[in-house]
A and B are shown apart, each in its own frame.
Chain A
Amino acid sequence: MTPLRLLARRLRFLFRRGAAEREMAEEMRFHLEMRTEDGLAGGLPADEARHAANRKFGNLGMVQAKSRDQFVFQWLEQLLQDVSYSARTLRKNKGYSIVALLTLGLGIGVNTTAFTVLNRLLLRPAPFADTRRLVHIRATSADGSEGSVSPGDFFDLRAQNTALDHVSAYYVSWLSTLAEPGQAAIRCDSISATADFFTALGIQPVMLGRAFTDQDEARHENIALLSHSFWVKHYRADPRVLGRILRTDGGFQYTIVGVMAAALDDPTLFVGTTDGLAFCTLMSGMDPRYRDRGWNSVVARLKPGVTAQRAQAELAALARRLAHDFPKSNTGRGFKTVPFPTRAMDEMGGRLVWLVMGLSGVVLLVACVNLANLQLVRTTARNNELGIRLALGCTRARLIRMLLTESMMISTAGGALGLLLAQWSNRYLAAYWKVDMPLNFRVIGFTCVVSAAAGALFGTMPALFASREQVNASIKQGARGTTPDRYRHRLRQALIVVELAMALMLLAGAGYFVRGIQRITQRDLGWRPEGVLIGYLALDHDHYGEVRDPRSVVFGDRLISEMASLPGVDAVALSNDNVFGANPINFEIEGRPPYERDVLASIETPSPGYFRAYGIRLLEGREFRDTDRPGTPKVAIISANMAQRYWPGESAIGKRIGTEDPAHQDWAEVVGVVGNILHDLEWDPRRSRYAIYYPWAQNSFRYLAVTLHSSGDPEALKEEVRKTFGRIEPNIAFSFLGAADELMAQDLMQYTVARRMLVQVAGLGLLLAAVGIYGVVANLAAERTKEIGIRMALGAQPRDVIWLFLGNGVRLALIGTGLGLAGAFGLNKALGHLLSDFPGNDPWVVGSVGIVLITVTLVACWLPARGATRVNPMDALRAD
Chain B
Amino acid sequence: MAQKADLLQGTLDMLVLRVLSRGELHGWGITQKLEQLSRSALQVDEGSLYPSLYRMEGKGWIEAEWRMTGNNRRAKFYALTRSGRRQLESETESWNRMAGIIAQVMHSP
Contacts and interface: CB of A to CB of B under 8 A. Distances in A.
A57 B27 contact: no
Interface of A: 1-3, 6, 9-10, 23, 26-28, 30-31, 34-35, 56-59, 62-63, 66-71
A559 B55 CA distance: 93
A435 B50 CA distance: 63
Contacts of B81: 1
B74 A71 contact: no
Interface string B12-37: 00000000000000111001000000
B91 interface: no
* SS of A interface (majority): helix
Given A1-B81, A26-B74, A71-B54, A57 B46 contact: yes
Nearest to A73: B58
B76 A6 contact: no
Most buried by B among A2, A63, A70: A70
Closest 5 CB pairs of A and B: A70-B54, A1-B60, A34-B28, A70-B55, A66-B51
B54 A31 contact: no
A68 B66 CA distance: 18
Contacts of B53: 67
B50 A67 contact: yes
B86 to A, nearest CB: 13
Contacts of A66: 47, 50-51
Contacts of A3: 60
A23 B53 CA distance: 14
A63 B46 contact: yes
Contacts of A69: 51
A57 B27 CA distance: 12
Contacts of B51: 63, 66-67, 69-70
Interface in B48-92: 50-51, 53-55, 57-58, 60, 63, 66, 73-76, 81, 83
Q: Which of B55, B58, B63 has the most CB of A within 10 A?
A: B58
9 contacts: A1-B63, A2-B60, A9-B57, A30-B75, A31-B46, A35-B28, A66-B51, A68-B54, A70-B55
Nearest to B30: A31
Contacts of B6: none
Nearest to A2: B60
A23 B76 contact: yes
Given A1-B60, A10-B58, A71-B54, A58 B45 contact: yes
Contacts of A57: 46-47
Given A27-B27, A30-B75, A31-B27, A63 B60 contact: no
A31 B60 CA distance: 23
B28 A59 contact: no
Contacts of B83: 1
A340 to B, nearest CB: 53
Nearest to B29: A34
Contacts of B75: 27, 30
A14 to B, nearest CB: 13
Interface residues of B, number: 23
A30 B54 contact: no
B76 A27 contact: yes
Contacts of A23: 66, 76
Given A2-B60, A27-B75, 7 more contacts: A9-B57, A26-B76, A30-B76, A58-B47, A62-B47, A67-B54, A71-B57
Nearest to A62: B47
Please report whether the interface of chain B is mostly helix, strand, loop or mixed according to DSSP: helix
Contacts of A10: 58
Given A1-B81, A31-B27, A31-B28, A6 B47 contact: no
A35 B30 CA distance: 12
Nearest to B63: A1
A333 to B, nearest CB: 72
Q: Taking each of A2, A66, A69, which has the highest tally of chain B beta carbons within 10 Å of its own beta carbon?
A: A66
A69 B76 CA distance: 19
B27 A6 contact: no
B50 A71 contact: no
A69 B28 CA distance: 21
A28 B46 CA distance: 9
Nearest to B43: A56
A71 B58 CA distance: 6
Contacts of B55: 70-71
Nearest to B61: A1
Contacts of B60: 1-3, 6
Contacts of B63: 1
A43 B65 CA distance: 32
B50 A30 contact: no
Given A10-B58, A67-B51, A70-B58, A58 B26 contact: no
Contacts of A6: 58, 60
B62 to A, nearest CB: 8
A68 B57 CA distance: 12
Contacts of B26: 27, 30-31
B63 to A, nearest CB: 5
Contacts of B45: 58
B73 A30 contact: yes
A621 B82 CA distance: 104
Contacts of B74: 26, 30
Contacts of B28: 30-31, 34-35
A768 B39 CA distance: 76
B54 to A, nearest CB: 4
B22 to A, nearest CB: 19
A56 B35 CA distance: 14
A56 B28 CA distance: 12
A803 to B, nearest CB: 66
B67 to A, nearest CB: 12
A59 B47 contact: yes
A109 B26 CA distance: 58
A25 B67 CA distance: 16
A334 to B, nearest CB: 68
Contacts of A31: 26-28, 31, 46
A851 to B, nearest CB: 65
A627 to B, nearest CB: 101
A56 B74 CA distance: 22
A59 B47 CA distance: 8
A6 B57 CA distance: 8
A451 B45 CA distance: 49
B58 A58 contact: no
A58 B75 CA distance: 20
A63 B50 contact: yes
A34 B25 CA distance: 13
A58 B81 CA distance: 30
Nearest to B27: A31
A13 to B, nearest CB: 10
A498 to B, nearest CB: 47
Contacts of B31: 31
A4 to B, nearest CB: 11
A504 B66 CA distance: 70
A6 B75 CA distance: 21
B25 to A, nearest CB: 12
A63 B31 CA distance: 15
A28 B58 contact: no
B31 to A, nearest CB: 8
Contacts of A59: 47
A666 B39 CA distance: 122
Given A3-B60, A6-B60, A71-B57, A56 B47 contact: no
A58 B50 CA distance: 12
Contact of A58 (B46, B54, B66, B76): B46
A67 B66 CA distance: 18
B46 A56 contact: yes
Contacts of A70: 51, 54-55, 58
A71 B53 CA distance: 10
A66 B74 CA distance: 23
Contact of B47 (A1, A2, A30, A63): A63
Contacts of A63: 46-47, 50-51
Nearest to B76: A27
A503 B26 CA distance: 68
